[in-house]
Structures are given as structure tokens and as C-alpha cells.
Chains A and B, each alone.
Chain A
Amino acid sequence: MEIPVMVGAGLVVIGVGIGIGNIGRGAMEAIGRQPDAYGKIQTAMLIAAALVEGIGFAALFAVS
């Protein structure tokens, strides 16, 4: 694989990592504030994480 492809794929993974990490942080803080809303927050976190992951996969798909 050429260097630009590798760099591109690496950047995509960094982006997805930061994105999902932020979603996780928001979810943890929200659970900390209101522990009984755990179920709803978990559901919303998973949906948002899947969307971010979807962009990441689409980008990896296009890059490779």
C-alpha cells in the first residue's frame, strides 16, 4: 500500500477514535448526573457511535 493511502487510513481511524471517545465521555458524564437514565443514555450513545463508525468505515472503504 502506498504512503498516502496509509496516512489517509490512519487519519480516518484517529477521527473515529476521537469522535467515539467524545460520545463516550458525554455519555459517562450524563450517567453520572442522572444514574437512573442509564438505559436511555446507553441506547443513544450506541446509536451515535454506530453513525460515527459508519462514516469511518465508508471512508476506509473509499481509501483502500
Chain B
Amino acid sequence: MALIPLKLKHLLPTLILALLTVQPTFAAKETSDKGDLKTEIREYIMHHLLDSHDFNILSYTDDAGAVHHVGMPLPVILWDEGIKIFSSSKFHHGETVAQVGANYYALDHGKIYKTDAGGTINYDENHHATNLAPLDFSMTKGVVTILFTALLMFFLFKGLAKSYKTNGQVAKGVGRFFEPIVLYVRDEIAIPNIGEKHYKKYMSFLLTLFFFIWFLNLLGLTPLGINVTGNIAVTFALAILTFIITNVTGKKDYWKHIFWMPGVPTVMKLALAPIELLGVFIKPFSLMIRLYANISAGHIVLMSLIALMFIFNNWLGSSLSFVLAFAISIIEILVALLQAYIFTVLSALYFGFAVEEHDHEDH
């Protein structure tokens, strides 16, 4: 590997780009109460990790004490004996109760519940709300981000594919950056794990998975405050897809290896069957947990370090926290790519198990 000379003109834009990944923080409130600040920080971090019904970029408190929010409300779509669509601005960031026809809805920790005009929410012992919750099909922040990423990927790769036709087998434009990555997924991830014969039918899923997770992870690091892959529902959906594809395209050898492992004494065959069956469920489950925990833990650590700047509130402590937060956000960029790669590699591995055919002479 040749040594890349470090030029200052290359360093500056990289530095600026990396600085943009550090999340902008909430309003710096002059508060002498440490406990108050800590609860506010905890609530802010929780609010970022959860999905929300409006696109709130930042909010600040002006001198008069009024809170200003910079953002965009998103449509709320509920099914409560009839479809109800309204803008989430009716909630006023969770402060008021939305009245739609004869029904009243209130927001509590990001979820919508049906209440009365006063907005009372009944809690049980574990602080879970026991009000009736209508089916929520809203376009939340996460949904909008997923749709945006899907459109981005669609146009990006369609353009790349079309450029081959018009430019004679040579990619042109931004797609040029993605061509080696696509080839890498095919040559280093799909073919070694799945084999030359069957890899083609899994390629579209593996490519989609890789770029989808990578783009969503990167978007989660931007100051927009969207956390999609740190949402267990999203990673659950991705893992379920891997699970379904593995088991639907599983060949006879695959099922034989689970229930009646060839080549071992019969007693062990019976002992291995439940373990292997458990493995069929645990493998996608671990995919889900790995991506979810990595990304949300990264977000929590990053936000806590930024919050540390406000807790210290002096030059030395805050600047050290800033440097640490900056270093961690660089690592998070690496983790974004690495987690997408790991999810794809392990999915390819499981697909490889599903279509593996070996001659049973050595079994």
C-alpha cells in the first residue's frame, strides 16, 4: 500500500465533514441544578432514540422563556374504527391533546393513545400507559427516512445501471464510486459463501441489504437526529427477511442437516436436532440484536459525551469532552460500514448453508 501524502487542502474538507456528524445539541440552559440538567439530558437522549411524529431538527428557548421548534410536522394516520389522518402539529410537540371529530388523542413517549378531552393517561405499576392505543400507520420520522433512502438507492443504482448502456460498459457519474463496492459484494461476499451456482438469485437482496443498512446508519449520524437502524422494529424486519429467504430456499440437504445430521451416531442425531432447530431461530435473532445494539449504543455514547460538555460547563472539561465525542463519531462512521458489512456477510453465510450441496461420500 503506497503512503498517501497528507495534504492540508485534503484535510480541511474532511475535518469539516467529520465535524458535521457531531450532533447539534439542545438549548444551553443556565441551570444551577445538576439533577435537573441530567434528567433533561436523559429525556433528550431517549427522545432521539425513539421514533417521533414530527421532524424536529432543533428547539431553543428565547429570552422570554418561549420555546421555539425548528422542524416540520408529519402526517399522523390512525385506524380507530375508521381511518383518521391529521397533522402532528395538532399535538404541539406532545403538549396538547389532538381533537379529531369526536375522539381525543394524546402523545405519551412517542406513542399515540386515545384519551378524553383532558388528556388523561392512566399508568399501571410499571409506568406503562393503559389507555387504548389505535393502530398507528403514521408517516413518522423513521418512515420518511426509510422512504427517502429507498428512493435515493433506487435512483442511484438505476442511474448506474443505465450509464453502462449509454457509455459502453463503463460507469459514469456518482455511480462510479459504487461500482467497486457492488463488485466487492459479489466477489468477496456472495460467491465465496453461496457458491458459483446459486449466488445470482441472492445478489439483489444482499446488495439492497448492504446499501440500505449502510445509508441508514450514516443518516443516523447526521445532525437531523433520525435513528432508524437503532429501532428494533426495523432490524427485526431485516432479520425476518433473511430468515424467510433462508428457509424458503433451503434445499433438502439443509433440512437434513438440521433434523437428522448425517455422519453422527443416532443418539447424537436426536440430541443435535433441537439444538440445530434453535439455531435456525437464533441466527437471525442475533442479526437483529447485533445491528440494533451496536447502533443504539453508539448513539447513546455519542450523545452522552456531547451532553458531558454541558455538564462540565468550563473550558477544559468541555473541550476534552468535545475531542472525545469527535473521536467517537469518527469511529461511529466506521461502525456504520462495518455493521452493514457484517449483516450482509452473515446473511450470505446463512444462504450458503441453505443451498449447500455436498457429496455425501465423506459423511
Contacts and interface: CB of A to CB of B under 8 A. Distances in A.
Interface of A: 43, 46-47, 50-51, 53-55, 57-58, 60-61
A60 B289 CA distance: 11
B293 A47 contact: no
A46 B342 contact: yes
Contacts, number: 31
Contacts of A57: 289-290, 293-294, 297
Interface in B342-363: 342, 345-346
B124 interface: no
B286 interface: yes
Contacts of A58: 286, 289-290, 293
Given A46-B342, A50-B342, A61 B294 contact: no
A59 B232 CA distance: 16
B76 to A, nearest CB: 30
Q: Which 5 A-B pairs have the closest CB atoms?
A: A57-B293, A54-B290, A50-B342, A58-B289, A54-B286
B293 A60 contact: yes
B293 A50 contact: no
Interface of B: 188, 286, 289-290, 293-294, 297, 338-339, 341-342, 345-346
A38 B286 CA distance: 28
Contact of A47 (B297, B339, B342): B342
B345 A47 contact: yes
A46 B290 CA distance: 14
Contacts of B339: 50
A61 B339 CA distance: 17
Contact of A61 (B289, B341, B342, B346): B289
Contacts of B286: 54-55, 58
Contact of A53 (B188, B294, B346): B294
Interface residue SS majority, chain B: helix
Contacts of A60: 293
Nearest to B189: A43
A55 B289 CA distance: 9
9 contacts: A46-B342, A47-B342, A50-B346, A51-B346, A53-B294, A54-B290, A57-B290, A57-B294, A58-B286
Contacts of A43: 188
A60 to B, nearest CB: 7
A32 B70 CA distance: 55
Contacts of A47: 342, 345-346
Contacts of A61: 289, 293
A54 B289 contact: yes
A59 B178 CA distance: 36
Nearest to B339: A50
B126 to A, nearest CB: 15
A50 B338 contact: yes
A57 B341 CA distance: 18
A46 B339 CA distance: 10
Given A50-B342, A50-B346, A55-B286, 10 more contacts: A43-B188, A46-B341, A47-B346, A50-B290, A50-B338, A54-B289, A58-B289, A58-B290, A60-B293, A61-B289
Nearest to B294: A57
A50 B345 CA distance: 11
A34 to B, nearest CB: 16
